Copies of this chain bind each other. A is one copy, B any other.
Amino acid sequence: MTASIERAKGAAPGSARLGATRHQLRADAQRNHARVLEAARAVFAEQGIDAPMTLIAEHAGVGIGTVFRRFPTKQDLVVALVQQRGEQLVEAAEAALASDKPGDAFRSFVSLAAEQQIRDRGFCDSIGTQLFAREDLRELFDGVRERVGRMLDRAIEAREVRSDIVAADVLFVLHGVARTGLMLEDGAPGVWRRYLGLALDGLRPEAATALPRKAPTKRQVDNAACGGG
């Protein structure tokens, strides 16, 4: 269940090597690790998270055994990919926070985040799986949310965004847009931008109407992202 991705090769077999330091992967193993990641990225992005592992092995030009040696579980592989995406998000958020036009920065961050999910079906699928239960990912997710929160504060202060929403709201709305966008993407590429536009207009202060419910608490959000279903 909680298999660690990295090869925790334990105490060195015959030699007097220190048990503490894990030694480096062999060259071919390193190559394969990279190949698998790359292939998984491509396959999951196009086919979604339900793509079979054999397909990834095939795409990477290695045997399935090799895939599972590098990533003991399908989930481990997915987590590795989601982690990359998360880091990209943090980076983008950081850039948005550096801008001096809070409204525009906010909107283009959101747009970028949506596009990320549109272009990577697997990433979109991953959200809402019990995936974020894992400590490592939860931490990353919190980082994103915290930055979005700051981004939001600035945009609200600039009267570019309604004042009754929180960071989690943005992420949820985002995911909703991506989900619907993906339904249409094959037949009408780019229409997701239309729905993102509608969603963003809903976040503007001009049309703001009292929301019927309070924002979900952090625990509720975590439980959701982590999925109980």
* Residues of chain A whose beta carbon lies under 8 Å from any beta carbon of chain B: 48, 121, 128, 162, 165, 169, 172-173, 175-177, 179-180, 182-184, 186-188, 190-191, 193-217, 219-221, 223-225, 227-229
Q: Which of B179, B201, B209, B223 meets A179, CB within 8 Å? A: B179
Contacts of A175 in B (CB 8 A): 179-180, 183
Partner of A209, one of B162, B190, B201, B215: B201
Instruction: Say yes or no: B224 contacts A212, CB within 8 Å.
Output: no
CA distance A134 to B200 in the complex (A): 34
Residue of B whose beta carbon sits closest to that of A222: B187
Shortest distance in angstroms between A57's beta carbon and chain B's nearest beta carbon? 22
Stoichiometry, copies per complex:
2
Cβ contact within 8 Å between B209 and A207: no
Cβ 8 A contact of A206, one of B169, B180, B198, B206 = B206
Are the CB atoms of A203 and B198 closer together than 8 Å? yes
Structural contact, B183 and A227, CB atoms closer than 8 A: yes
**Is B220 within 8 A of A209, CB to CB?**
no
A223 to chain B, nearest CB (A): 4
Closest to A170 in B: B198
A224 partner residues in chain B, CB cutoff 8 A: 183-184, 186-188
Residue of B nearest to A128 (CB): B183
Residue of B nearest to A205 (CB): B207
Is B191 a contact partner of A200 (Cβ separation < 8 A)? no
Q: Which 7 A-B pairs have the closest CB atoms?
A: A202-B202, A207-B207, A176-B176, A187-B223, A206-B207, A194-B213, A204-B207
CB pair A172 B165 closer than 8 Å: no
A183 surroundings in chain B (CB, below 8 A): 128, 172, 175, 224-225, 227
**8 Å CB contact of A199 from B165, B199, B228:** B199
Given contacts A184-B224, A220-B184, A229-B48, contact A197 B172 (CB under 8 A): no
User: Who on chain B is nearest to A48 by CB?
Assistant: B229
* A48 to B128 alpha-carbon distance, docked (Å): 14
A190 closest partner in B (C-beta): B213
B225 and A211 contacting across the interface, CB-CB below 8 Å: no
User: Which of B48, B197, B208, B219 lies in contact with A212, CB distance below 8 A?
Assistant: B197
